[in-house]
Amino acid sequence: MKGIKILGTGHYLPERIATNDDFSKIVDTSDEWITSRTGIKERRIASGEPVWYMGVNAARDALLDAQLDASEIDLILHTSVTPDFYTPSMACMVQRDIGAKNAIGIDVNCACSGFVYALDIAAKYLQDDQYKNILIVSSEKLSKITDYSDRGTCVLFGDAAAACIITKGDGMFFSYLGAQVEDADKLFARTITDDNPFCDDNDQQKYDKFSDSNGQYIYMDGREVYKFAIKAIPKAIKGACDKAGVDVNSIDMIVPHQANVRIMETAAANLGLSIDKFYMNLELYGNTSSASVPLCLDEFIKEGGLKEGMRICVVGFGGGLTYGAAIFDL
């Protein structure tokens, strides 16, 4: 398969910062617990700005970085677990506001693996000459679906948007995607249940084994997802390397979904790699679902870390339970 080239990246971060100490005022927790168990120190919380607005700002930042006009974008892939609408899609909203008059847009929902799945879709679309420049926007407002009375989850999540524009490249691109769907009920946030005079909640309970998650709030069995993540990361990275016919040691930088520093340390040990190969910024932003990988990429590139010829691996895991890695040379 032909490779990809990153033309530009961008981000949008809400201004409001919520520290661990702020959380100790609303739930029974402490900076010590959150820092030692997760590595998170603070996160951003949106102040009313919609998901599409955050995505539009990240997309504009990426266009500026790529020195491209929005009319040169052929495809927009938008990832989110917190879209503003059932319809139109977030991709259409971004397309409208940046003025990408020649693009089509598709929403991708693969939870925290969303960016990796979107990158894989983009790499495949690039094989069609009709699609030259592809914009991936990952915009997440976890605060919309966070239960701020549940200390086990509320301290983890943050709001952010990040974007990445890619085109065809000369290097290699291989991916390994999967899902442990039998554990879908270990991490979920429901849509609102049917609300019509002919159907009550009891009727709906018959159709799935998902526990009542107090409406639309995120439910997560942290320990089970943890166990899944420490196996899924090495499996996905090794899977992508095997397909590419390269050794994991040949990867220069791994950009993982930012869920928990202990998950990354264990995954690194399982792969026999130094933790220094894992890019991390969760200390400042917490878990921003699908936005976390492109947010890291943007930061890594803007601080001058990315060099031509480098071998990069992006890896995600989350609701579904989905997982996936993509390895590519720049």
Minimum Å gap between C-beta 229 and ligand UT7 is 4
Does residue 259 belong to the site contacting ligand UT7 (CB under 6 A)? yes
Plot region of 212 (φ>0 → left; ψ -120 to 50 → alpha; else → beta): beta
Q: What are residue 324's DSSP bridge partners?
A: 177, 316
Give the interface segment with ligand UT7, choosing from 11-19, 82-90, 129-137, 256-264 (CB under 6 A). Answer: 256-264
Q: Judged by CB under 6 A, which of 151, 168, 231, 243 binds ligand UT7?
A: 151
- Shortest distance, CB of residue 264 to ligand UT7, whole angstroms? 10
229 in contact with ligand UT7 (CB under 6 A): yes
Residues 6+ apart with CB under 8 A from 192: 215, 216
Q: Which two tokens stand for residue 76?
A: 């927009």
Residue whose CB is less far from ligand UT7, 56 or 156: 156
Out of 58, 66, 70, 155, the residue judged to bind ligand UT7 by CB under 6 A: 155
223 near ligand UT7, rule: CB under 6 A: yes
By CB neighbour count within 10 A (0-12 exposed, 13-18 middle, 19+ buried), where does 216 fall? middle
For ligand UT7, the binding residue among 46, 110, 112, 312 (CB under 6 A) is 112
Is there binding between residue 46 and ligand UT7 (CB under 6 A)? no
**CA 94 – CA 302 distance, rounded (Å):** 23
Q: Residue 179 interacts with ligand UT7 (CB under 6 A)?
A: no
Buried-exposed string 124-143: b where 16+ CB fall within 10 A, e elsewhere: ebbeeeebebbbbbbbbbbb
Residue 79 found at the interface with ligand UT7 (CB under 6 A): no
* Distance separating alpha carbons of residues 181 and 128, to the nearest angstrom: 31
- Piece of the chain touching ligand UT7 by CB under 6 A; list 34-42, 56-64, 80-88, 159-167: 34-42
Would you state the structure tokens that stand for residue 261, as one six-digit string? 């520093």
Q: Tell me which residues are annotated as active site.
A: 112, 257, 287
- Minimum Å gap between C-beta 17 and ligand UT7 is 18
Cβ(134)–Cβ(125) below 8 Å: yes
Residues that bind ligand UT7 (CB under 6 A): 29, 33-34, 37-38, 112, 151-152, 155, 222-223, 225-226, 229, 259-260, 263, 287, 318
